[in-house]
Amino acid sequence: MKQRVLSILVDNTSGVLSRVAGLFSRRGYNIDSLTVGVTADPKFSRMTVVCSGDDLVLEQITRQLEKLVDVRDIKVLKSGERVNRELILVKVRADAVQRKGVIQIVDVFRAKIVDISKESLIIELTGGPNKLSAFLELLEGYEILELARTGLTGLSRGVSDVRYL
């Protein structure tokens, strides 16, 4: 099974997210990750959708998305030709004794401690999926109380495929 990252430029109107998600659910496709935000032009939003399937399914997803009225542009963000990031917030149980070890891991990954209490720390880390996975692996020795991930977002490198509407 392959994974595809799609950068989709859509009209910034109500119901767009529902229509895109509905396309996936009606056809039984899964969305691995989804992020949405307004662009520099407030008339448009950019969705980054990560989906998986075989070549036929992935091509069908792209073709079906192109048919939606609100979709203005779709780019397949290919590995090596894109910059992608994800944000995680992790709340870790750490008393005074454990805190030093957690802070060492945070420093190695250039993460930030954004909240601290007597019993816990909240850590913010941005990076690629491999970096985030490695960070979480090192935290396995500690109790993770809560975890939130934004999902992947990305842009293609360079200016050769920038499209202006």
* Measured distance CA(138)–CA(135) in Å, rounded: 5
Residue 80 pLDDT > 90? no
Average pLDDT over residues 134-153: 95
* Measured distance CA(146)–CA(89) in Å, rounded: 8
Lowest-confidence segment of 21-30, 60-69, 156-165 by average pLDDT? 156-165
Predicted local confidence at residue 1, as pLDDT? 87
Residue 81 pLDDT > 90? no
Alpha carbon 85 to its chain centroid, in Å, reads 7
Predicted local confidence at residue 165, as pLDDT? 59
Q: Is 156 exposed, middle or buried (0-12, 13-18, 19+ CB in 10 A)?
A: middle
**Mean of all residue pLDDT scores within the chain:** 93
164 or 109: which carries more pLDDT confidence? 109
pTM for the full predicted model: 0.84
User: Could you tell me the domains of the chain?
Assistant: 2-76 (3.30.70.260), 83-153 (3.30.70.1150)
- Indicate the helix (H) or strand (E) that contains 129: helix 129-138
